[in-house]
Amino acid sequence: MQQRSFSGVSQSPRSPSKQPPYLAVSVTDPAKMGNGVQAYISYKVITKTNLPEYQGLEKIVIRRYSDFVWLRDRLFEKYKGIFIPPLPEKSTVEKFRFTAEFIEMRRQALDIFVNRIASHHELQQSEDLRIFLQADEQTMERARSQETGIFKKKPADLMQIFKDVQSRVSDVVLGKEKPVEESNPDYEKLKRYVFELEDHLAEAQKHAYRLVKRHRELGQSLSDFGRAVKLLGACEGEALGKAFSELGTKSEMLSFKLPKEAQHLLMNFEEPLKDYVRAVHSVKGTIAERAAAFRQHCELAETIKMKEIDLNKLRLTRSERTADAEHEYEELKADGEEARRRFETIVRLMNEEMVRFQEEKTLDMGHAFHEFAKGQSRLANAIADAWRSLLPKLEACSSS
């Protein structure tokens, strides 16, 4: 059960100054609910806080995966420019949906997800987070089902946006400039970086996953080998037979350590890498939003210019439509202002987010590397100790 408490929340006017404000969340106790095709996993979400916006010091609610998805989508809509923490993928393979390892991995990922939101200075103030953390199950379900209309972006749409962004980036890279794109060299560099980073990370993650499998395979072959050697020992008998038996037993003993290490590797190294890849996807989502905002801003600016020309024409002719046109023009200008503001907010937020993102990833990766190294060292030491302990026995056999 991971609990990441954060320090230094932005000022809340009504918070008592005695205790520093805190918001600590954890996702625990996965439980299988329902039967058959309808079955799903529910999680306990425990909130401990002294923030006034929250009801009481501790609240426990029951949530399922789609509730988390709801939260992520709401935040994505409302906080454009911020890299929303990524969610673990929906499991496509039925077989693994309810294995202990998968459930634990998902729980861990969900816990990290909520905690990242709770420790983000902007996101932590979100109304949707409060609903998520506090609302009773019925309210939550209602909110969740409302999503299928207005706000919920279908994954297909998101994919299309990604593709657009990707093709636009490559067009720019290839020199085929399309009109409605920012011509900001630093930003271009950033976009290229993000796309290339994803490729590199995906490859590393692929090999990390294979490495997990290899550990399991090695464990299996050590076990089979040990068994075969023990049989040979039984056949041989006497000192040599004993030597074989000892070796076989040792091999079998070691074979148990490997799947354990494989699991550790999966949870503490491969999963963080996957998480990194997901985070990059989230960044790409923001890039798409920024592109959309920019386009809107530009299009409105164009429309406003056209409208101005029309308006001036009308003003000259002193048409009775002038008043309406003026009115429309003013409205358009307000929209244009709004669009520009929205776009500039995204730009500002993205710059801040980039810094935070890099910091976060350095920490996450550092921890993952540390766990990886520790795990490998632990395994190697166990192997060395086990084999070394056999040597005196072998020496004894040869002297007899």
Rounded CA-CA distance 168/171 in Å is: 5
Rounded CA-CA distance 162/157 in Å is: 9
Cβ 374 to another protein shortest distance, Å: 5
Q: What residue has token string 């209602």?
A: 142
Identify residue 147 by its one-letter amino acid code.
Answer: E
Q: Is 397 in the site for another protein (CB under 8 A)?
A: yes
Among residues 62, 131, 135, 211, which is the contact residue for another protein, using CB under 8 A? 211
Part of the chain binding another protein (CB under 8 A), chosen from 84-92, 137-145, 206-214, 307-315: 206-214
Size of the site for another protein (CB under 8 A): 65
Rounded CA-CA distance 361/340 in Å is: 31
- Cα dihedral angle (295, 300, 302, 307), rounded to 10 degrees? 170
Nearest to 243 by CA among 255, 234, 253, 252: 234
Among residues 83, 113, 244, 294, which is the contact residue for another protein, using CB under 8 A? 244
135 vs 190, which CB is nearer to another protein? 190
208 vs 332, which CB is nearer to another protein? 208
Cβ 212 to another protein shortest distance, Å: 9
CA 97 to each of CA 142, 275, 348, 384: distance values in angstroms, whole numbers, following the listed order:
25, 19, 40, 37
Among residues 160, 303, 319, 381, which is the contact residue for another protein, using CB under 8 A? 381
Part of the chain binding another protein (CB under 8 A), chosen from 30-38, 109-117, 332-340, 366-374: 366-374
- Cα dihedral angle (51, 85, 135, 144), rounded to 10 degrees? 160
Q: Is 376 in the site for another protein (CB under 8 A)?
A: yes
Nearest to 26 by CA among 5, 49, 3: 3
Strand extents, DSSP E, 219-368: none
Q: Is 253 in the site for another protein (CB under 8 A)?
A: no
Q: Both tokens of residue 295?
A: 């386009």
Q: Is 200 in the site for another protein (CB under 8 A)?
A: yes
Part of the chain binding another protein (CB under 8 A), chosen from 8-16, 31-39, 99-107, 205-213: 205-213
71 vs 194, which CB is nearer to another protein? 194
Rounded CA-CA distance 209/295 in Å is: 40
Part of the chain binding another protein (CB under 8 A), chosen from 34-42, 101-109, 285-293, 388-396: 388-396
47 vs 251, which CB is nearer to another protein? 251
Nearest to 345 by CA among 337, 334, 356: 337
221 vs 303, which CB is nearer to another protein? 221
φ, ψ dihedrals at 32, nearest 5°: -80, 130
Q: Provide the 3-class DSSP secondary structure of residue 158.
A: helix
Rounded CA-CA distance 59/384 in Å is: 49
Q: Provide the 3-class DSSP secondary structure of residue 60.
A: strand
214 vs 295, which CB is nearer to another protein? 214
Do residues 219 and 262 lie in contact, with contact meaning Cβ atoms separated by under 8 Å? yes
Residue numbers 336-365 binding another protein by CB under 8 A: 354-355, 358-359, 361-363, 365
Part of the chain binding another protein (CB under 8 A), chosen from 8-16, 107-115, 224-232, 342-350: 224-232
Residues that bind another protein (CB under 8 A): 189-190, 193, 196-197, 200-201, 203-204, 206-208, 210-211, 214-215, 217-218, 220-222, 224-225, 227-229, 231-232, 235-236, 239-240, 243-244, 247, 354-355, 358-359, 361-363, 365-367, 369-374, 376-377, 380-381, 383-384, 387-388, 390-391, 394-395, 397-398
